[in-house]
Structure 1
Amino acid sequence: MSVAAGTVAEAKGGTTRREHILDAAEACFVRSGFHRATMQDIAREAAMSPANIYRYFASKEDVVLGLAERERERGAALVAEMERAGDRRGALMGIIERYFAQVTRGTAVLRLDIWSEATRNPGIAAMVDRSEEEARGWFVQTLARLATAPDCDPAALYAAINPLMKGIMVNRALLPDYDPAPAVAQLRAQLEAGLAGRLPALSRDEPAEAAISHPAMGGAR
């Protein structure tokens, strides 16, 4: 069924027409991929004319940037909402649950498509870099405040768990029947060990990213 459901008015729930177009674009990109989906496909999915689409987005690249920015804003809003409760550990585990344990395949496919496009498109690469830096900053700060041992190295802990988090996303996108639960359990265990100062020491020649078995390369299944 079309995202538009027969209307070109603002989408239900008070979302703007721009949000409506982004919803349609997300459906098209998940179904066909970024390069195969066209602005005409997005217009058809949104039940709008291509001319109306171009009133809001000058190009398909702008649509992708809009999707990436929307995801970043939603993540920031979720973090802020959880932190207002005053429970940083709960906020951390809530982020893990929301973004990894409950991630849908469509969301994971879209994330991989954006990552892939970032290798070719400087504008999208800049947006991805910004999101990555913001995520790293929040995680390192949160881990520092939650550390229960002086030996905890928040930056090293984040470097260790980051490949596992990305691996969960990759597997969720590539494997239709993938169950992220075992990898999420490993992620939580790694977090608890790191916060308690029990993160395995790495040799100087071994980057932190190599210390975790990447799920996409045969790790957690």
Structure 2
Amino acid sequence: MARVSQEHLDARRRQILEGAARCFARSGFHGTSMQDVLKEVGLSTGAVYRYFSGKEDIIAAITGEAFASIRTTFEEATRTTPPPTPDVLLSRVLGGLFEGAVHGLERRTVASLIVQVWSETLRDERLATLLEEGYAAMRTVWGELVEAYRAAGILPEGVPDEHVARTMIATAHGFIVQEALFGDVRREVPENGLRGLMSMEPQKAS
């Protein structure tokens, strides 16, 4: 029997994830059955279950990939001197997430899947754990990025690292929700918007 290459295995796994994501986007997690996934990807039950134990396992894999995409962008930023400012960084994060988290899907579909995952964590302990771990990792990386900002003289002292991290993460969350609900979150939208906010000077009281 010929040995199956890792490239083939990776491509088959990707095929399953993309097909399942399309199903989830159309019908939601609860409205999608494994039979729906099998029909979408055109594979046998045995072929799919070779990679995933069930629907929840597929959802967890999609969630993990989304977090990995975001974390990679943040980590690359911490290794850049000087680090990209928040307006540029957030544009990269959202662009990378929508364009690379689940290949072959439209931006709005990816955002919709992420929002579904967030709501699903309220009832699924496994997903809730993944979300907590991903959020903790993001805050750690952002803490490192804040230190890099201070070292480069971009960010003044006195602003708690965690407050900066949580604000930037919340901004990313907000744009993901906007994309899911309304679409049209182009890279330049958060970049220009944040740059404008960052450039404002406080007015002196008259």
Indicate yes or no: 2:65 matched with 1:62.
no
1:156 aligns with 2:156: no
How far did residue 117 of structure 1 move? Answer: 0.7
The aligned runs of 1:120-159 (5 Å cut-off) are 120-147=123-150, 148-159=155-166
Residues 122, 177 of structure 1: CA spacing in aligned structure 2 closer, same or farther, 3 A cutoff?
same
Aligned amino acid, residue 141 of structure 1: E
**Contact kept? 1:109, 1:173, Cα under 8 Å:** yes
Instruction: Note if 1:185 corresponds to 2:192.
Output: yes
Asked whether 1:172 is paired with 2:175, we answer no
Point out where structure 1 has 5 or more consecutive residues left out of the alignment: 1-8, 199-221
State the Cα deviation string for residues 183-219 of structure 1 (Å, max 9, x = none). 44344456x57xxxx8xxxxxxxxxxxxxxxxxxxxx
Letter in 1 for 2:91: E
Within 5 Å, give how 1:89-104 maps onto structure 2: 89-90=83-84, 95-100=89-94, 103=98, 104=107
Between the two proteins, what is the percent identity of the paired residues? 23
Distance of 2:84 and 2:149 partners within structure 1: 11
Deviation (angstroms), 1:80: 4.5
In structure 1, the residue matched to 2:69 is 74
Residue 83 of structure 1 and its aligned partner are, at CA, apart by: 5.0
Gaps of 5+ in 2: 99-106
Q: Over the residues paired in the alignment, what is the CA RMSD in angstroms?
A: 3.2
TM-score by structure 1 length?
Answer: 0.69
- 1:68 and 1:10 mapped to 2: Cα distance? 26
Q: 1:139 to 1:88 in 2, by over 3 A?
A: farther
User: Which structure has more RCO (C-alpha within 8 Å, separation ≥ 6)?
Assistant: 2
Aligned partner letter, 1:60: K
- Does 1:110 pair with 2:105? no
Answer yes or no: is 1:87 the counterpart of 2:81. Answer: yes
C-alpha contact (below 8 Å) 2:108/2:180 kept by paired residues:
yes
TM-score by length of 2: 0.74
Change (3 A) 1:20 1:11: farther
Cα distance change, pair 54–24 in 1 and its aligned pair in 2 (3 A) = same
Aligned to 2:15: 20
Question: What is the count of residue pairs matched by the alignment?
Answer: 186
